[in-house]
Amino acid sequence: MEWEGDEDPGTATFGAVEDANGTIVGVATVLRESAPFEPVVAGLSGETGVESVTWRLRGMATRADLRSRGIGSNVLEAVVEHVAAEGGLLLWCNARVSAIGFYERAGFRTWGDEFVVTSIGPHVVMWRRVDPERVK
């Protein structure tokens, strides 16, 4: 699947591959994109060059029969490491309501009201700060 922004500098896609046959079982893409809320919500001011330090997580998915095994957490960890390495301070996403617990365990918070993405279902915006010191 191709998304707008896939060719932008810093955009990256991460995946988890099943050893047995090389099948992709988890995936996520991250790119620089302003959040749909004022940066002050996340403790950032406009003086910090917010556009360059704000990243969006999208297309996060784990194969249904392999959920709750840490695959999504590992993919998300790779995303957060990438954002930190690129100087990112804020990571946000449109999360399925059914995945709120997963994102909360990873340090995300909800913002705003629930909304429906046509043909996918109910979502909510979630965000977390990224510690630039976490770069390995």
- pTM surpassing 0.95? no
In this prediction, residue 67 carries a pLDDT of 77
Q: Are the C-beta atoms of 55 and 92 separated by less than 8 Å?
A: yes
Q: What is the pLDDT of residues 73-125, one digit of tens each?
A: 889 999 999 999 999 999 999 999 999 999 999 999 999 999 999 999 999 99
All structural domains of the chain, each given as residue ranges with its CATH number in brackets, are: 12-134 (3.40.630.30)
In this prediction, residue 1 carries a pLDDT of 58
